[in-house]
């Protein structure tokens, strides 16, 4: 089956009027920051996204992203496959409309549109995928080259040793809300 490539940018309000419904893929090679955060990523990110007006007349777009990345296990340093599966629900806001921002239902994540009313789906989806990466990648115990028994000597506590490099991104997102 041919893979339909999604546009990198959309005008959510227009798309919602047309009740656009996309099912397709984005090339992960275009997601530079995601690629830097993982050993490798599947070539394609599967995307489903639906644009619509909700009962209150607010523009929303929601859907799902899925792909698979390869990470390094923090216990044995071997590679591990990590499926990513993210659900999202965004509502576009203009830069200065703080009031309308407050009025957004909690389930909607505000996303700023640019001067042309456009949103970069590529960057938005890339951020979502990066945020969904585990803070500490570890094999399931039975799959790991280093067993729990071997660890009694080393006492590795990866959660404390390694700071999530994307904590900053999370902070930024929180500030926007």
Nearer to Zn ion, 148 or 160 (CB): 148
Tokens 């591990």, located at residue: 80
Residue at shortest CB range from Zn ion: 73
- Taking a C-beta distance cutoff of 8 angstroms, is the pair 91, 99 a contact? no
- Cα-to-chain-centroid distance, residue 12: 18
Among 13, 25, 144, 169, binds Zn ion (CB under 5 A): 144
CB of 69 to Zn ion, least distance (A): 15
Q: Which is nearer to Zn ion, 62 or 139 (CB)?
A: 139
Minimum CB distance to Zn ion smaller for 25 or for 144: 144
Name which position in 10, 60, 69, 73 contacts Zn ion (CB under 5 A). Answer: 73
d(CA 30, CA 40): 13
Our finding on whether 139 is near Zn ion (CB under 5 A) is yes
- DSSP state letter for 162: S
Considering only residues 77 through 116, tell me which ones interact with Zn ion, judged by CB under 5 A. 78
Q: Between residues 144 and 169, which has the closer beta carbon with respect to Zn ion?
A: 144
List for the chain the helix, strand, coil content (%; round to 5). 30, 30, 35
User: Are 86 and 68 contacting, i.e. CB atoms less than 8 angstroms apart?
Assistant: no
Q: Specify the residue, 81 or 98, whose C-beta has the smaller distance to Zn ion.
A: 81
Place of tokens 């404390």: 160
Scanning the structure block, which residue is given the tokens 């009740």?
Answer: 19
Shortest CB 20 distance to Zn ion, Å: 42
Q: Which stretch binds Zn ion (CB under 5 A): 58-66, 88-96, 131-139, 163-171?
A: 131-139
CB 154, min distance to Zn ion, A: 13
Which of 13, 76, 104, 122 touches Zn ion by CB under 5 A?
76
Residues 115-145, buried b or exposed e (16+ Cβ, 10 A)?
eeebbbbbebbbbbbbebbeebbbbeeeebe
Where do contacts with Zn ion occur on this chain (CB under 5 A)?
A: 73, 75-76, 78, 139, 144
């Amino acid at each position: 089956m041919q893979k339909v490539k999604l546009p990198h940018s959309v005008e959510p309000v227009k798309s919602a009027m047309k009740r656009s419904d996309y099912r397709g893929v984005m090339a992960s090679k275009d997601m530079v920051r995601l690629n830097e955060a993982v050993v490798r990523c599947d070539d394609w990110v599967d995307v489903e996204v639906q644009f619509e007006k909700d009962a209150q007349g607010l523009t929303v777009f929601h859907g799902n992203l899925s792909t698979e990345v390869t990470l390094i296990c923090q216990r044995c340093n071997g590679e591990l496959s990590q499926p990513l599966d993210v659900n999202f629900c965004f509502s576009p806001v203009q830069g200065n409309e703080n009031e309308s921002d407050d009025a957004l239902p909690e389930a909607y994540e505000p996303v700023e549109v640019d001067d042309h009313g456009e949103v970069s789906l590529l960057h938005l989806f890339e951020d979502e995928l990066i945020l969904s990466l585990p803070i500490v990648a570890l094999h399931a115990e039975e799959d790991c080259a280093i067993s729990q028994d071997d660890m009694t000597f080393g006492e590795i506590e990866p959660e404390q040793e390694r700071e999530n490099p994307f904590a900053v991104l999370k902070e930024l997102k929180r500030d926007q809300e």
